[in-house]
Structure 1
Amino acid sequence: MARIIGEVMTREVVEAHPETPFKDLVRLLDRHRISGLPVVDEDDKVVGVISETDLIHHQAVRSTDLPARRFRLAPPRRRSARRTAARTAQELMSTPAVTVHPEQRITDAARVMERHGVERLPVVDEEDRLIGIATRRDLLRVFLRTDDEIRQEILDAVATHALGLPTHEVNVSVRDGMVTLQGSVEQRADIPSAIRLAYRVDGVVGVVNGLNVHPAPGPLGPSAGPTEPGGGHH
């Protein structure tokens, strides 16, 4: 069974508020040895996310900024200028925040992270209130599952239930998360299905296919053997 975000998320979340000053944000990240945190309003609803990148960008732009009276800023530069003057989380945070729910699968959260290029996802309840946070490290915990756990799940979910294959016809071995499937199946279409389902099991690093198809029965049935001498049709 695929694991969900609620099983691996961090429940004790370091958070900031829209009015949290720049220096306090830096202190929070340093004190807790984290690279980012969610920003919540008075109802614990996530309104944005602050990352080290946001804070470093603020300092980088500020250090290269020249007196505004000497230049007329073009529209693309005005946003950078506003960030240069930013002093609170509300002005520095990235919005809108990309969030997930605890019942979502870990694989779904990984895709969201990849799609949006983020390293952490605030986890919210049905009312969008913050209840946890999932980082890339949290998601990687699924790969700490033992080989025996992975093997048993594949046997249960893939071999017997999903494809209806008897376990004595499919051998599953797992070493360091690498799965090897061996044995025989009735139909050739069962082979890619078995590989695909094995990949969906949490903790699987890769799948080596050793499955083959049962030999097809011969064209001659038991009653289609040689005709007895003197036989034939009249």
Structure 2
Amino acid sequence: MGLFWIQGGELSEYEFPDASDAEGEVESLTSAFERLKSSYGSADDDDARPVMEASQIMTPTVVTVTESCPLERALALMSEHKIRHLPVVSEPGPRVIGIISDRDALLMAADLEEQELDGVTVGEAMTTELLTAAPYTEIPFLAKTMVEYKISCLPVLDQDELLVGIVTTVDVLRSIACHAPLNLWV
């Protein structure tokens, strides 16, 4: 499927929970997509379109920070580039070890007084357990993952675990608005 889990700096393939494992509480991803597909009817082979992948909709130039970056600098970068997420990369290499969102930074800043904020680093506020995608991850899986886990971005890593892009909810919505079959909207 092309989704991976970063936990404690280690990358592993993410496996969606199976409905049988959760005693009926969680529907398996496959059956959810089959239900979704059937609700839109089956397309003839002539109408079939290739499914778009993360590599086609991602932002390939990603602004990143290291965990030693001051939190105030991270907020300034987000404001300057009009973005809400910064992947956190290791020093010296560009391996993704976490992510910081504007919400993470603002929650940390709200808990501190201005003079205390001076010494706070990204490493103290970042999320270190995150899902990532591969360039070949299909958009329906990206969308399902974002909805299921209430996340608004997925860093995209290549086969060498290097950051090659980022997909946000805006990227997914834009792809649906521009490329989805019209019967999705009827």
| Residue number in structure 2 paired with 1:205 | 185
* 1:138 and 2:118 aligned: no
Which of the residues 56, 61, 64 maps onto 2:111?
61
Query: Conserved in 1, the CA contact under 8 Å of 2:72 and 2:118?
Result: no
Match of 1:108 in 2: 141
Q: Higher relative contact order at CA 8 Å, sep ≥6: structure 1 or structure 2? A: 2
TM-score by length of 2: 0.66
Matched residue, 1:32: 81
Aligned AA (2:93): D
Look up the equivalent residue of 1:61 and give its one-letter code.
D
Query: Does 2:160 correspond to 1:127?
Result: yes
**Which of the pair has more CA radius of gyration?**
1
Distance 2:111 2:166 in 1: 29
- Would the aligned equivalents of 1:44 and 1:130 in 2 still touch at CA under 8 Å? yes
> Does residue 51 of structure 2 align to residue 2 of structure 1?
yes
C-alpha change, 1:146 and 1:121, in structure 2 (3 Å) is closer
Q: What amino acid sits opposite 1:19 in the alignment?
A: S
CA RMSD of aligned residues (A): 2.1
Question: What is the percentage of aligned positions where both structures have the same residue?
Answer: 28
Q: 1:114: how far off?
A: 1.5
What is the number of residues matched between the two proteins?
134
d(CA) in 1 for partners of 2:179, 2:63: 31
Which portions of structure 1, spanning 4 or more consecutive aligned residues, are displaced by more than 6 angstroms? Answer: 83-86
- Structure with the largest fraction of helix: 1
The one-letter code of the counterpart of 2:87 is P
Q: Which structure 2 residue ranges, 5 or more long, are not aligned?
A: 1-49
What do residues 93-115 of structure 1 show as CA deviations (whole Å, max 9, x unaligned)?
01122211110101101111112
